[in-house]
């Protein structure tokens, strides 16, 4: 039997779908990201912006049209924020929320074999996913944490992912050892707010140190991280041969006044202090980031401060979001909402700057030898990311995949992120 998966949103959603697909595969199912001929389709939704909701609804409708006979399972963050809407729009769909997500194999397997979906979630938790490698991604995602207690005023995530919870240290280390033993070359640590990891008295830097001590030829990448709770031990680990010189450090705004309105847990000088301490150990260290433009009350001056901090840091890549009202968040009730016209104009300006900074950052690597983890090979070209998280390609007739290659790179070898 065949099960298809459609995942939207963050790395955590990707991790959960990859792990579920691995469980289905291990139990004799054909798994795919294409719904043709599938007996069941699992859509893992996202609700972080209005656009994510639209994309999630479209993914479900499209999959149902593409394969009306398949059992439709809808899970993910939209099941927590828009349950009634999903129920009325997709009455035939089986809806399983984030808490029951890790039990989807049992539910779908019983549905396809007995016609009855066992939806009881008595023995599943947020971490009971199996280890896997090379499912839909070459890099091996490892979930270390879920939920968030920060309640930034624009963010819906604490309402859909719940309160912060950390996976036990031993479970994480065993997961890393398993995927490395299965051949993983890159381990990507993921969660909702991983800098707040805290289990059995072990904080994020303590866990990271233990992961870096695991034997094997692999590298560790930290997915998105909040610029708070960085301790001295973390800075000591910068430069470790296994730790990739790249952090996706979420800035959101360059104005302290707006950071306060967002209820972010740092100031601009604290953010820049992290950048300086890390760059003191590796001047080429790659910082990528998320920035919101058009947050309620954002003046032209605040916006120009965001542009200025972006220039100062020289981000290697920027995700730019136009502020999107999320129902139920504190920012929704703020009176000084910004017009779409201004949001669009600021987003355009920030995208132009982001392109310039990205090109300037990548040019530093011109004609230098880079270690690439090859993820794809096509028409005589292999492609993947270097340690600094720059997408690269080089010519070879060797159909390699999931292997490190040391290669001389230049700008034209780079492909867009």
Summarize as ranges the residues that interact with ligand SF4 (CB under 6 A).
148, 150-152, 155, 157-158, 192-193, 226
Helix (H) or strand (E) holding 331: none
End-to-end CA distance of the chain: 35
Q: At what angle are helices 268-279 and 300-313 packed, to 10 degrees?
A: 10
Helix (H) or strand (E) holding 381: strand 381-386
CB of 338 to ligand SF4, least distance (A): 19
Helices (H) and strands (E) in the chain, counts: 13, 20
Give the integer Cα–Cα distance in Å for 130 and 74: 20
Q: Which is nearer to ligand SF4, 41 or 156 (CB)?
A: 156
Report which of 266, 281, 126, 121 is spatially closest to residue 190, judged by C-alpha positions. Answer: 126
Q: Which is nearer to ligand SF4, 59 or 192 (CB)?
A: 192
CB of 151 to ligand SF4, least distance (A): 6
Q: Which is nearer to ligand SF4, 108 or 155 (CB)?
A: 155
CB of 329 to ligand SF4, least distance (A): 9
Q: Which is nearer to ligand SF4, 152 or 189 (CB)?
A: 152
Q: Which is nearer to ligand SF4, 79 or 193 (CB)?
A: 193
CB of 252 to ligand SF4, least distance (A): 8
Report angle CA 61, 62, 65 to the nearest 5 degrees.
85
Q: Which is nearer to ligand SF4, 263 or 381 (CB)?
A: 263
φ/ψ of residue 199, rounded to 5 = -140, 130
Q: Which is nearer to ligand SF4, 80 or 226 (CB)?
A: 226
Give the integer Cα–Cα distance in Å for 413 and 374: 13
Report which DSSP code applies to 411: G
CB of 281 to ligand SF4, least distance (A): 25
- Please list, in sequence order, all residues whose beta carbon lies within 8 angstroms of the beta carbon of residue 111, skipping any fewer than 6 positions away: 40, 71, 94, 117, 118
Q: What is the dihedral of CA 189, 190, 193, 196, to 10 degrees?
A: -30
Q: Which is nearer to ligand SF4, 155 or 373 (CB)?
A: 155
CB of 268 to ligand SF4, least distance (A): 17
Q: Which is nearer to ligand SF4, 266 or 285 (CB)?
A: 266
Q: Which is nearer to ligand SF4, 35 or 158 (CB)?
A: 158
Q: Which is nearer to ligand SF4, 266 or 414 (CB)?
A: 266
Report which DSSP code applies to 250: -
CB of 177 to ligand SF4, least distance (A): 28
Rg (CA), the chain: 22
CB of 152 to ligand SF4, least distance (A): 3
Structural tokens at position 411: 């700008």
Q: Are 381 and 405 in contact (CB under 8 A)?
A: no
Beta strands in 379-413, from DSSP E residues, in sequence order: 381-386, 391-395, 403-409
Report angle CA 105, 108, 113 to the nearest 5 degrees.
115
CB of 223 to ligand SF4, least distance (A): 12
CB of 290 to ligand SF4, least distance (A): 8
Instruction: Report CA torsion sign: 156, 159, 163, 165.
Output: negative
Give the integer Cα–Cα distance in Å for 84 and 89: 8
Give the integer Cα–Cα distance in Å for 184 and 300: 46
Half-sphere exposure (CA, 13 Å, Cβ side) for 371? 14
CB of 155 to ligand SF4, least distance (A): 3
């Amino acid at each position: 039997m065949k099960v298809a998966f459609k995942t939207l949103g963050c790395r955590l959603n990707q991790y959960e779908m990859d792990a579920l697909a691995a469980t289905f595969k291990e139990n004799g199912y054909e798994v795919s990201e294409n719904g043709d001929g599938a007996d069941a389709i699992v859509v893992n939704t996202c609700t972080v912006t209005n656009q994510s909701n639209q994309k999630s609804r479209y993914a479900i409708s499209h999959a149902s049209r593409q394969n009306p006979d398949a059992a439709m399972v809808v899970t993910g963050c939209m099941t927590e924020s828009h349950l009634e809407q999903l129920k009325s729009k997709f009455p035939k769909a089986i809806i399983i929320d984030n808490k029951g997500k890790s039990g989807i194999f049992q539910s779908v397997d019983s549905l396809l074999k007995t016609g009855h979906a066992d939806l009881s979630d008595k023995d599943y938790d947020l971490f009971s996913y199996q280890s896997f490698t090379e499912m839909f991604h070459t890099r091996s995602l490892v979930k270390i944490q879920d939920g968030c207690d920060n309640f930034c005023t624009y963010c819906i995530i604490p309402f859909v992912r719940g309160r912060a919870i950390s996976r036990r240290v031993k479970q994480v280390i065993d997961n890393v050892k398993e995927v490395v033993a299965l051949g993983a070359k890159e381990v990507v640590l993921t969660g909702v707010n991983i800098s707040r990891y805290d289990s059995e008295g072990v904080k994020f830097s303590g866990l990271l140190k233990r992961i870096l001590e695991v034997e094997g030829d692999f590298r560790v990448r930290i997915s998105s991280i909040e610029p708070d709770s960085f301790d001295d031990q973390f800075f000591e680990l910068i430069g470790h041969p296994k730790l990739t010189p790249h952090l996706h450090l979420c800035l959101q705004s360059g104005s302290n006044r707006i950071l306060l309105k967002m209820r972010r847990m740092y100031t601009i000088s604290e953010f820049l202090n992290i950048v300086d301490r890390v760059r003191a150990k590796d001047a080429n260290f790659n910082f990528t980031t998320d920035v919101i433009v058009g947050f309620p009350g954002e003046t032209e001056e605040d916006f120009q401060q965001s542009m200025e901090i972006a220039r100062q840091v020289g981000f290697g890549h920027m995700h730019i979001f136009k502020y999107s009202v999320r129902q139920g968040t504190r920012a929704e009730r703020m009176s000084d909402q910004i017009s779409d016209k201004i949001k669009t104009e600021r987003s355009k300006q920030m995208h132009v700057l982001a392109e310039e900074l990205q090109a300037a950052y990548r040019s530093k690597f011109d004609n230098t030898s880079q270690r690439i983890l090859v993820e794809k090979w096509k028409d005589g070209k292999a492609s993947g990311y270097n340690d600094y998280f720059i997408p690269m390609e080089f010519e070879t007739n060797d159909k390699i995949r999931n292997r490190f290659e040391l290669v001389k790179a230049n700008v034209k070898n780079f492909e867009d992120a």
